[in-house]
Structure 1
Amino acid sequence: MPATVRDFIAFLERRFPETKPRPGQTLDEIMFAAGQRSVALQMRAEFEAASNLPEG
Structure 2
Amino acid sequence: MNEASLQAWATTLGIALPDALLGDVAALLDTMHASAQQLDVAPDPAEPDCDEARA
Bin for the TM-score computed over the shorter chain: 0.3 to 0.5
Higher-Rg member (1/2): 2
- Larger helix share, 1 or 2: 1
Structure with the larger RCO, 1 or 2 (CA within 8 Å, 6+ apart): 1
TM-score by length of 2: 0.48
TM-score by length of 1: 0.47
